[in-house]
Amino acid sequence: MVASAKCDLRMIDISAKKETRRLARAEGYVVTSSKVIKTIKEGRVIKGDVFSAAQIAGIMAAKNVPGLIPLCHPLLLTQVDVKIKIIAEDTIRVESMVSNLGRTGPDVEAMVAVSAACLAVYDMCKSLDRGITIKDISLLEKSGGKSGRYIRRGK
């Protein structure tokens, strides 16, 4: 671990930025066994509805980012949507869309929503497969504000 000689952390002043509608989308993947995917599809996971628990976890996480990530501004989110879909016999895709009207965008909120939803899938299914892997959490899109629109290429 490298020690820092000085601590110059600060929350950035965004008061001069223009208030605009901002949107961010993120995604991530949960990889598990085909047996777990089948159990989810059949609604036989002991803890209950995996996708509902994961959706709620993602939404709650997006709303609580300032308490989790240092120096993030608290945002008044106008929408949080978390979608979860089985895309292969061993893979679940989680996507979030978060929007706000403000001076900074909800990109971290979108990625935290995906992270928490993926972790909730893990938690709901860990008794079936301890080797569940969460991977490739990334920002897909960000719009609003001075820097314009960002769309991840190559996806």
Q: Could you list the active site residues?
A: 123
> Nearest to residue 86, comparing CAs of 47, 122, 34, 44?
34
Kind and range of the H or E element at 51?
A: helix 50-63
Beta-strand relationship, 77-88 and 150-151:
unpaired
Q: Can you say whether the dihedral through the CA atoms of 123, 129, 130, 135 is positive or negative?
A: negative
CA angle 67, 69, 74 (to 5 degrees): 60
